[in-house]
Amino acid sequence: MSEYAQAQNRERQQRLERVWGNLPGWGALAAVNHTTVGLRFIATGLMFFLVGGLLAMLIRTQLALPGQDIIESGLYNQLFTMHGTVMMFLFAIPVLEGLAMYLIPKMIGTRDLVFPRLSALGYFCYVFGGLIVLSSLVLEVAPDAGWFMYTPLSSATYSPGPGSDFWLLGITFVEISAISAGIELVVSILRTRAPGMSLNKMPIFCWYILAMALMIVFGFPPLILGSVLLELERAAGFVFFETAGGGDPLLWQHLFWLFGHPEVYIIFLPAAGIVSTLIPVFARHPLVGYRWIVLSIITMGFISFGLWVHHMFTVGIPHLAQAFFSVASMLVAIPTGIQIFSWLATLWQGKVVFHLPMLWIIGFLVVFVCGGLTGVMLALAPFNWQVHDTHFVVAHMHYVLVGGMLFPLVAGLYYWLPHVSGRMPSDSLGRWGFWLFFGGFNLTFLLMHLTGLLGMPRRIYTYEAGLGWDWLNLVSSVGGFIMAIGVAVIVVDIVLHFRFGKRAEQNPWGADTLEWAIPMPVNTFNFSSLPSVDTRHPMWHTPRLVESIAAGEHGLADVQALRRDIYGSDATTGKLQEVVHLPTNSWLPLMTASALAALCVSLLMKAYLLAAVFTIVALGLVLRWGWENGAHPRAAPTDHNEAGAPPLHSRTFSGPGLWGMVVGLMADGTFYASLMFGWFYLWTAAPEWTVPAHDSVTLLPMILSGLVLTVAVIAYCHLVKGLRRGFAAHLGARLWLIAALGVGHWVLLAGQLVSAPLAPTERAHDAVLVVILLYLLLHSGLAVIFTSLQAVRARLGYTAVQLPYEPVVIQPFWLYTLGVYWVSFVAFVLLSNAWSVG
């Protein structure tokens, strides 16, 4: 390359850096770049991991010898509750989401995730939610009902302090973060892959993350619902889990494990994705059985939602149900086995190079297979009855979660560390860390199987001597401290390598995936130009990609109108469809998360008027966020684009926002389906369920309200149909008319909530009806607000026949609102009233 060409290339790179770079100083808090946000997730998750590890060491210290009173029983209950909470909610899922956020755009050949501000909001919600939960320890009011918060132990009667409230509000905050990341990852993987990267050319890691993200979308809403219901019961006296009022404490267990068991696979799948990515690199051979692994990923995702009851074998469920869930629990071993045999076949056919990451992969294979075998044992109901709530289950859980997640995670950290720092970690320190951790882990938890088989219960803070548990607990505690030393060595190695590590060459491991075509350490825009990809192994098949990308030989090589542009592609074929313009640095995610955090703190303080104020502030910030979107001048100032490029997404009918809305409604629909499950579960299983003798809700106003909503939705669909045909006469007036119809519907529905003779503090039946009416009011109100904003934007020229993007995005929300209204009318109102008459 000539000196002139080099100078031109440097100027082009500088322009990209100015547009894509983070603000200096405190302005870095406004960063929305996926690299920055992903690394923040990872770093924060690792900090929470150290906190959770410290809590575990306190637990092992207390249990090392019989009859100890180093920690009294109440504090011990808080410690094991917080240990499980921190590890499951604040470490495992967030750190894997952070890794996915960091890697996915780089692997699929783009510059950022498709909703950057949503990523940043998710991070701040995660941090604030985690701090709310941990602050309960500092304030000495930590929850003590276990990380699963079973009712009635977590109810106001048996946990009268604020500990359970800290858990419910803080974890719900964190769950919102997880769902936002799930939506972000699903849409980014499906809609922003490099041109030519069809689904069957996608890196296998992306398949794992796609499955994980969809499982988050469908798996987390049941727990959010359960947390909302339990907090309403604790704060407002609503009856959902109180038997005397027609509730059932087992409803909480169903809602929790509807989330909890898929969560195990949500944690496992990204870790298995790391394994499937690293083994071909160090075996120097393509992954054997790519299609079989994809099929096993999809199968595992489906099966995982049908296993939740195997956590409840001892609560008295019918034997037929136990048999069904026992078989289902064993079936999940099939897709797991497919992946393990694929990994072994790849190692067998390749020439394995045992670099440091590979050591952790071998450790994973050993530990996880052992955990899987004990999982099959626990799937057998008679054996489960014998060891349920013993240390055997604790040992199994750690073999599956630590073996199945932490070992691959550390392998991945060592593998991608040069990508972040441009330096190599110490091989000798890393090996010391591995053997200390591996040995300490097995010393701790292998023997714990024996303590469980000998009858030692979980969650006891002390035990008598002479029960056969003494030496086993002592050795387990020693192993725990050896494991902690191993963690310390790994932390020291990672910290020191940033200063003293050897400079890494480009693609130091000889990898095949696209993230290694980026300069190291990584920049803020990933690729100087966006390549087309037609193979699963671009770095093996086209080694010159590094130079051609840097030289600007591919798409979007320069900045257009100071926009952050990426390509949008077809979800299946990867064919180029549009240029997606992304928002730049923004303070709105931090401000919105701060308002939501203040809302949570206000609820903890029972300051409900203040909570209402912060709710309004948060809503205002969200609307302000949505205002600078689509065709707003700050979002897409001009149509100017490089020659031959496709249109901007804000000028189309099928941009990523539409996909984001649909995936978001999937999560919303799962929340609604969980509420309906709770309704019918209580109706059929709650021993004291009662239906009032009078009609709970008046039918005529409900029918009239539904008819008004139906007219509004039909009018909106007709408006969108006209936009698609190029007709937009009186667009603003028609939007205002639809909003007015929505207001009429909302007023009629609100009147029913106010006037209906409901007693939510006395009957679970009425409590559920109040929740469903509030749910319907929320959605109708949001639809009205969205449509009113569109009317204003039409007036300003941000929405028009040439700019139809935003009305199309809102259409699924109106349709969903209409659908859940009429389903609710039949399932909740008609059924209840018919029963009352009967």
Helix (H) or strand (E) holding 262: helix 250-283
What is the pLDDT, as a whole number, of residue 597? 96
End-to-end CA distance of the chain: 86
What is the reported pLDDT for 317?
85
Cis status of the peptide bond prior to 152, with omega within 30 of 0? yes
Residues 439-464: b if buried by 16+ CB within 10 A, e if exposed: ebbbbbbbbbbbbbeeebeeeebbbe
pLDDT attached to residue 640: 61
What's phi and psi for 169, nearest 5 deg? -75, -45
Q: What is the pLDDT of residues 551-591, one digit of tens each?
A: 889 989 888 888 899 999 999 999 999 999 999 999 999 99
Q: How many Å apart are CA 625 and CA 642, to the nearest integer?
A: 28
Does residue 190 carry a pLDDT above 60?
yes
Higher pLDDT: 640 or 536? It is 536
Q: Give percent above pLDDT 90 in the chain.
A: 83
- Confirm if 539 and 513 have CB atoms less than 8 A apart: yes
Give the pairing type, strands 502-503 and 564-569.
unpaired
Cα dihedral 598/599/603/608 (nearest 10): 110
Identify whether the C-beta of residue 144 lies closer than 8 Å to the C-beta of residue 163: yes
Query: Residue 746: pLDDT above 90?
Result: yes
pLDDT classification of 834: cutoffs 50, 70, 90: confident
Mean pLDDT to the nearest integer, 86-90: 96
Work out the average pLDDT over 168-175: 94
CA-nearest of 664, 693, 653, 672 to 774 is 672
Q: Of 189-198, 347-356, 739-748, 826-835, which range is least confident?
A: 826-835
Strand partners, 337: none
Choose among 625, 633, 648, 580: nearest CA to 30: 625
3 state DSSP class of 153: coil
What does the chain come to in residues? 838
Task: Please enumerate in sequence order all residues whose Cβ is within 8 A of that of 684, keeping only pairs 6 or more positions apart, or say none.
Answer: none
- Average pLDDT over every residue of 404-418: 96
Residue 322: the pLDDT is 86
Nearest alpha carbon to residue 308 among 218, 228, 398, 227: 218
In the predicted model, is pLDDT for residue 256 greater than 70?
Answer: yes
DSSP reduced 3-state for 228: helix
Q: How far is CA 492 from CA 84, 409, 459, 489, 497, in A?
A: 25, 17, 33, 5, 8
Provide the pLDDT for residue 639.
60
Percent of all residues in the chain with a pLDDT value above 70, rounded to a whole number: 98
For position 644, what pLDDT does the model report?
A: 64
Report pTM.
0.96
Q: What is the largest CA-CA distance in the chain?
A: 89
Per-residue HEC secondary structure of 566-595 comes to EEEECCCCCCEEEEEEECCCCCHHHHHHHH
The model's pLDDT over 621-670, given as tens digits with 9 standing for 90+, comes to 999 998 888 878 877 766 666 566 788 888 888 889 999 999 999 999 99
d(CA 626, CA 632): 10
